[in-house]
């Protein structure tokens, strides 16, 4: 599995498409608490973590489904800590999932200004 992380509007999806030959049809964009693991690329994991209270357990339970995937997530951990409890919980949930996925990943790539930096 390849994990791609980075800030908002940094070119994560374009980088994945160009680097790994992913077409639009191979991308699942998360909008809720379920993921279509039949797609090669799972995009916007941060939206999934907002909708799924225990995103890490969901990924652990479906481990065999995403082993060959490219997973893309916005890093929402930087900046000011949100005042609202709901937003802090989302940030924590997203961080826990990224820690788990980083450990499991064959590669972790951070995107900044469209440039990829391999972290693992």
Q: How many domains does the chain have?
A: 1
Whether the predicted pLDDT of 82 surpasses 70: no
Whether the predicted pLDDT of 25 surpasses 70: yes
* Predicted confidence band of residue 80 (pLDDT cuts 50, 70, 90): confident
* Predicted confidence band of residue 5 (pLDDT cuts 50, 70, 90): very high
Q: Which residues span the domain enclosing 74?
A: 2-118
pLDDT at 76: 87
Whether the predicted pLDDT of 60 surpasses 70: yes
DSSP 113: T
Q: Could you tell me the CATH number of the domain that includes residue 48?
A: 3.40.50.300
Q: State mean pLDDT over 67-84.
A: 87
SS3 per-residue string spanning 55-95: HHHHHHHCHHHCCCCEEEEECCCCCCCCCCHHHHHHHHHHH
* Predicted confidence band of residue 41 (pLDDT cuts 50, 70, 90): very high
Q: Where does residue 108 rank: exposed (0-12), middle (13-18), buried (19+ CB within 10 A)?
A: buried
User: Which residues face 70 on adjacent strands?
Assistant: 2, 41
Q: State mean pLDDT over 44-52.
A: 95
């Amino acid at each position: 599995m390849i994990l791609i992380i980075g800030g908002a509007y940094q070119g994560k999806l374009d980088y994945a498409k160009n680097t790994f030959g992913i077409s639009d049809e191979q991308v699942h964009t998360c909008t809720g608490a379920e993921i279509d693991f039949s797609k090669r690329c799972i995009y916007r994991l941060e939206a999934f973590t907002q909708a799924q209270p225990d995103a890490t357990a969901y990924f652990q339970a479906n481990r065999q489904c995403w082993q060959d995937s490219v997973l893309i997530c916005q890093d929402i951990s930087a900046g000011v800590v949100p005042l609202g409890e709901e937003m802090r919980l989302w940030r924590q949930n997203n961080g826990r999932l990224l820690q788990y996925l980083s450990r499991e990943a064959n590669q972790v790539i951070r995107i900044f200004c469209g440039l990829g930096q391999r972290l693992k």
